[in-house]
Structure 1
Amino acid sequence: MIFWFWIGCFSLIFTCVRSEERNFRVIIDQVNITNVDRDVYENVECKVHQINNRTYIDSSHMFKHKVEDLRVHAAMDFWKLNSKQKMKLYDVELDGCYILENANKNRLFNMYVKSLKKHSTVKFKCPFQANVNYEVKNMTMNEEDFPSFVPLGKFRSLIEYIINQKMRARFIASGKIIPYSTDPLKVLT
Structure 2
Amino acid sequence: MFARFSFLVLLLPLQIGLAKNNYDIIIKSMSCKVVTWKYVNDVDCKLWRKRNAVVSAKFSLNQTIENFNMHVSFDLLKKDNTRMNIADLKMDGCKYLSMDSLYQNNIVGKMFKRLKSVSNLPSSCPILKGKQYEIRNYTFNADEFPPGAPQSKWQMRAKLLKRSELVADISFEGAVVYNT
Equivalent-residue separation in structure 1 for 2:35 and 2:82 (angstroms): 31
Residues 115 and 141 of structure 1 are in contact (CA less than 8 Å); yes or no, is this contact kept in structure 2? Answer: no
* SS of equivalent to 2:177: strand
Matched with 1:143 is 142
2:83 paired with 1:86: yes
- 1:76 pairs, out of 74, 92, 106, with 74
**Cα distance per residue 1:98-146 (max 9 Å; x no partner):** 12222204x1211221121111034353110111111001001211111
**Cα distance per residue 1:41-88 (max 9 Å; x no partner):** 01112111117x4211100121111101110011010135x4655321
Query: What's the offset of the Cα at 1:22?
Result: 0.7
Equivalent AA in structure 2 for residue 90 of structure 1: A
Equivalences, count: 169
Residues 62 and 134 of structure 1 are in contact (CA less than 8 Å); yes or no, is this contact kept in structure 2? Answer: yes
* SS of equivalent to 1:94: strand
Equivalent-residue separation in structure 2 for 1:29 and 1:95 (angstroms): 28
Residues 31 and 172 of structure 2 are in contact (CA less than 8 Å); yes or no, is this contact kept in structure 1? Answer: yes
Residues 124 and 134 of structure 1 are in contact (CA less than 8 Å); yes or no, is this contact kept in structure 2? Answer: no
Equivalent-residue separation in structure 2 for 1:85 and 1:151 (angstroms): 17
| CA spacing shift, 1:150–1:141, aligned 2, 3 Å | same
TM-score (norm 2): 0.83
2:83 paired with 1:97: no
Matched with 1:168 is 167
* SS of equivalent to 2:110: helix
Comparing 63-72 with 111-120, which one deviates more in the overlay?
A: 111-120
TM-score (norm 1): 0.80
Equivalent-residue separation in structure 1 for 2:62 and 2:119 (angstroms): 20
Structure 1 residue ranges without an equivalent (≥5): 1-9, 182-189
Residues 119 and 137 of structure 1 are in contact (CA less than 8 Å); yes or no, is this contact kept in structure 2? Answer: yes
Correspondence list, 1:146-161, <5 A = 146-161=145-160
* SS of equivalent to 1:54: coil
Correspondence list, 1:22-101, <5 A = 22-50=21-49, 53-79=51-77, 82=79, 84-100=81-97, 101=99
Structure 2 residue ranges without an equivalent (≥5): 1-7
Q: Percent identity?
A: 21
* SS of equivalent to 1:123: coil
Equivalent AA in structure 2 for residue 86 of structure 1: R
**What CA RMSD, in Å, does the superposition of the two structures yield over aligned residues?**
2.3
Equivalent-residue separation in structure 1 for 2:64 and 2:162 (angstroms): 11
Comparing 13-22 with 34-43, which one deviates more in the overlay?
A: 13-22
| CA spacing shift, 1:16–1:157, aligned 2, 3 Å | closer
